[in-house]
Structure 1
Amino acid sequence: MYNLLKGKKGIIFGALNDQSIAWKVAERAVEEGAEIVLTNTAVAIRMGTLDELAKTTHAAAVIPADATSVEDLENLFTEAQKALGGKIDFVLHSCAMSVNMRKKRTYDDLDYGFLDKTLDISAVSFHKMMQVAKKLDAIAEGGSILALTYVASHRTFFGYNDMADAKALLESITRSFGYIYGREKQVRVNCISQSPTLTTAGGGIKGFDGMLDFADRMSPLGNASADDCADYCITLFSDLTKKVTMQTLFHDGGFSNMGMSLRGMEQYNKSFIPENTDENGKIIYG
């Protein structure tokens, strides 16, 4: 490895199991020389395998925190600094959940109480996290804060539902808070817009297997894996990216700039039934 994070201290939100992007980021951060604190909700810690990750990464602490609770966040940043022996150099926000999606409510039939929860957990929690950290002066000068997003914040994807609104808000918070944090503390705030990735959370999206395959066929480099994403996160936590902030950085094999790929068109053509072809098997359009 490259010791890119040697001497740095970080907090990783949202690791649940070894499929989680946050789990992979925690492992890579430690491989690159960092010391970390792990956090998730108390329920997620009980249901998941975070203690296992804590052992393998020699985490300084596992601190339960509801990312939507200002009180929990205040305790988290206070205790994390004690456990790590200083200010925090990097933070990963990997918190997202839609009750509407879980309850199979379509976008034109949302439960607005559920929508409030989606926005709070998946986006507003990012603002709460940074506001608490800034008031406590918990982030070291030149620190790096990252959140995970998806291209549905910019474009419509069937089945992504109110999570698209949450991701759009998340990216707006990144820009607005990134300006203030950068101006006052030289702290960087960015989003990584990741390929659809096979995680516990991703599996709850309607038609996710199709999204995964479609993105892979459309992307010239193919989908970026959770391990690939972890590598990218490490570069953004490191001192190599000191002047990168307020950005939504696409990490998707080129998907976000594609219209139609050869592989995508070939698969699309295969979907035509015989009635749409002439005697030579060519597709009849229009």
Structure 2
Amino acid sequence: MANKTIAFIGTGNMSYAIIGGMIKNGFAPQSIIATNRNPEKLAKAHADFGVRTEQDNLKAVEEADVVVLSVKPQMMAELCQTFVDAGLDLSNKLFVSVAAGITVKRLREMLAEDVKLVRCMPNTPSLLGRGVSGLFAADIIDEEKTYIEQVFSSTGIAIWLEQESQINDVIAVTGSSPAYFFLFMEAIEEKAIALGFSPEQARALVQQTALGAAEMALSQQDISIAQLRANVTSKGGTTHAAVEHLKANQLPQTVADAMDACIARAEEMEQQI
């Protein structure tokens, strides 16, 4: 599918990041169409990446072989209805949805056709090229899977899921988890300020420590995360005292419960849309 045209319907921050990653990874700008109601955003996308732009979603869909639906879940039905009302031939197009809570079955109902479809769940670090995208495919061939993997690998890593229900699991593990890390960083930052550090010092200390810990995990793939923690936790020392306190207050179980709550909410959304 190297010569295929891909259209991003609703070029917000996430689509902008994906397009930027694609350009960096050698995709031809003229093979990419960005749509948005805001002409200023389209002008920026063209200026930054040289891609084609279009305010008319229908024209973009007509020209594209691959259509990325990058709108909010509550807007998806209305968007798809415009395609149906216009009588567009969608039979040979591959659709990609990045919307949470909309199943393959529901999206096909919205499009009134059993289209080829990929559900994708990227996370916000994709904006920096450090993201994770979970992918689930429905009725697509290997060539199409390879193309989609190349698209979403341009902003980090992409993994294929065997079951659609795993999309909700990915939301809990990677989609929502940046907020978990931020909450933990926030708690350390607040305590650092209470200890007398300036807000600027506290922010610098916390973010550099978080970055360093992440880099240690990335650079030592042969060592488990549990072992990395143990390596900096001398028994009877200060770190040991802090870690044991967190364990005694059920931090691991609290995290697990929070992830279960995330999955439950994703499942609820599937029933509401």
User: Normalized against structure 1, the TM-score is what?
Assistant: 0.43
Structure holding more helix per residue = 2
Query: Higher Cα Rg: structure 1 or 2?
Result: 2
Q: Relative contact order (C-alpha < 8 Å, sep 6+): which is higher?
A: 1
User: Normalized against structure 2, the TM-score is what?
Assistant: 0.45
